[in-house]
């Protein structure tokens, strides 16, 4: 069968009802649901490749996938057709046709993750699935000071799961920003790659600093030690969202604009 057209699809999803992105036998996953829908649409199996895996309970504003279609609807109809067939907790946002050299994962230049903290005395009825409720006061200045030490290229062994599959744990963080939105605090991380649980452990460590239980100046020592036990707790998955994915300019850069829509 001819490979046909390579389609790049941008998806958003509420991760609450999924056991992560990657297909797992007997479990509901984003990749599994999408591949099943394509199978029913086209009558043939269409493998889907993602820009990366999100864990169980983690959300996405802009997950990117690609797949090869030997036939099927025109690309300008793809979003409309899939919206009618996918469940409400997966939202296809945009689709375009790319050349066969494009790969949703291996062509990535940078990714942005956003973690949301709910700092209100009581958890929000509308945000409880998308934020970590931390009701005690946090020292935001101390958290910002700690975050400065994370910028640049480092070995992030101390800030990833002990069982993380990647052997090379050197990554580059280009940006850590803090944004207040009422009682919510959004922490955005932009970098060239992220390890398993890395953002959640970074957030847990920054919250530890904000609570006054760790000094911002300790961050370089924690990085240098390459010891997971020295970093903070792993923040809950439901506060984390894959916010954006960036590709080379030939493929349009960031896949969606930076305006808030969550």
pTM of the model: 0.94
106: Cβ contacts below 8 Å, ≥ 6 apart: none
Range in 116-130, 160-174, 185-199 with the lowest mean pLDDT: 160-174
Question: What's the angle, vertex CA 123, arms to CA 190 and CA 143, rounded to 5?
Answer: 40
List binding-site positions for substrate.
113
Determine whether 155 is an active site residue. no
Instruction: Tell me the binding residues.
Output: 113
Q: How confident is the model at residue 258 (pLDDT cuts 50, 70, 90)?
A: low
Q: What is the pLDDT of residue 175?
A: 97
Task: Give the tens place of pLDDT for each residue, 49-98.
Answer: 999 999 999 999 999 999 999 888 899 999 999 999 999 999 999 999 99
Q: At 111, phi and psi to the nearest 5?
A: -130, 155
Task: Give the active site residue among 55, 68, 89, 155.
Answer: 55
Q: Is the pLDDT of residue 259 over 70?
A: no
Give 250's contacts (C-beta < 8 A, 6+ positions apart).
none
Decide if 14 contacts 70 (C-beta within 8 A): no
Q: In this predicted structure, what is the pLDDT of residue 3?
A: 63
What is the dihedral sign for C-alpha 146, 110, 38, 45?
A: negative
Instruction: Judge whether residue 164 has pLDDT over 90.
Output: no
Query: Which of 70, 60, 16, 64 minimizes the C-alpha distance to 38?
Result: 70
Q: Which domains, from first to last, does the chain contain?
A: 5-107 (3.30.70.580), 110-243 (3.30.70.660)
């Amino acid at each position: 069968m001819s490979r046909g057209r390579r389609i790049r699809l941008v998806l958003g999803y509420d991760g609450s009802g999924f056991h992560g992105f990657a297909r797992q036998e007997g479990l509901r996953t984003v990749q599994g649901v999408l591949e099943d829908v394509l199978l029913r649409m086209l009558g043939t199996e269409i493998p889907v490749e993602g820009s990366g895996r999100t864990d169980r309970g983690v959300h996405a504003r802009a997950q990117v996938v690609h797949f090869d279609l030997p036939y099927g609807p025109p690309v300008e109809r793809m979003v409309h057709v899939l919206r009618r067939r996918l469940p409400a907790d997966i939202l296809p946002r945009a689709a375009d046709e790319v050349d066969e050299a494009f790969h949703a994962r291996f062509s990535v230049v940078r990714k942005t993750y956003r973690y949301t903290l709910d700092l209100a005395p009581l958890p929000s009825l509308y945000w409880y699935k998308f934020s970590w409720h931390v009701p005690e006061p946090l020292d935001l200045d101390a958290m910002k000071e700690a975050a400065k030490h994370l910028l640049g290229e480092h070995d992030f062994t101390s800030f990833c799961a002990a069982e993380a599959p990647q052997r090379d744990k050197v990554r580059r963080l280009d940006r850590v920003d803090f944004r207040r939105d009422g009682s919510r605090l959004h922490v955005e991380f932009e970098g060239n790659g992220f390890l398993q649980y890395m953002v959640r452990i970074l957030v847990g460590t920054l919250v530890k600093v904000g609570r006054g239980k760790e000094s911002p100046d300790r961050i370089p020592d924690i990085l240098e030690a390459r010891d997971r036990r020295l970093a903070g707790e792993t923040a809950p998955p439901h506060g984390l969202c894959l916010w954006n994915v960036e590709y080379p300019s030939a493929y349009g850069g960031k896949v969606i604009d930076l305006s808030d829509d969550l």
